[in-house]
Amino acid sequence: MNEERYPIDLGPSSLYASLPAEITVEGSPYWLVRDPEGEYRLLMAVCPHAGGDVRPHEDIFYCPLHFWTFHGKTGGCLSDPGHRLAYRKVAVNNERLYASAELH
Ligand code: FES
């Protein structure tokens, strides 16, 4: 049974025609992306190495502090596969996006 809760209303999906889209959720910065299966996902824009501001560049994300790079759809770390960007799952209901309360 999926007990994930999706209480954070991100608004209509039409707001996010261009991805990645920068979004603040509960005071933290995220990038909204779609993973390879077409599911939306919120990737936290804070580097797991030492807290740098993660930003998009072409098809990936990178951190300007020590140049770790991250997969542009999943947030998996390309520099050190033992790490990844934290993320929230996103559900679509009646063409609106809702972010999970849980941070993975
Ligand atoms: S803080 Fe991001 S690579 Fe070091």
* Tens digit of each residue's pLDDT (9 = 90 or more) over 79-102: 999 999 999 999 999 999 999 999
**Domain CATH code at residue 14:** 2.102.10.10
**Is position 1 within any domain?**
no
Which residue's CA is minimally distant from atom 3 of ligand 1?
66
**Is position 47 within any domain?**
yes
Render pLDDT for 40-67 as a digit per residue (tens, 0 to 9). 999 999 999 999 999 999 999 999 999 9
Q: Are 64 and 53 in contact (CB under 8 A)?
A: yes
Beta strand spans in 1-104 (E): 8-12, 21-25, 28-34, 40-44, 55-57, 60-62, 69-71, 87-93, 96-99
CA distance 92 to 82: 30
State in Å: Cα 8 to ligand 1 middle: 28
Q: Are 8 and 15 in contact (CB under 8 A)?
A: no
Q: Which of 63, 69, 80 to mutate to test the pocket of ligand 1 (most atoms within 8 A of CB)?
A: 63
Residue 68 Cβ inside 6 Å of ligand 1? The answer reads: yes
Which residue's CA is minimally distant from atom 1 of ligand 1?
50
**Is position 104 within any domain?**
no
Global confidence as pTM: 0.93
**Is position 57 within any domain?**
yes
**Is position 20 within any domain?**
yes
Looking at the structure of the chain, the number of domains it has is: 1
**Is position 33 within any domain?**
yes
**Is position 63 within any domain?**
yes
**Is position 2 within any domain?**
no
Residue range of the domain that includes 12 = 8-99
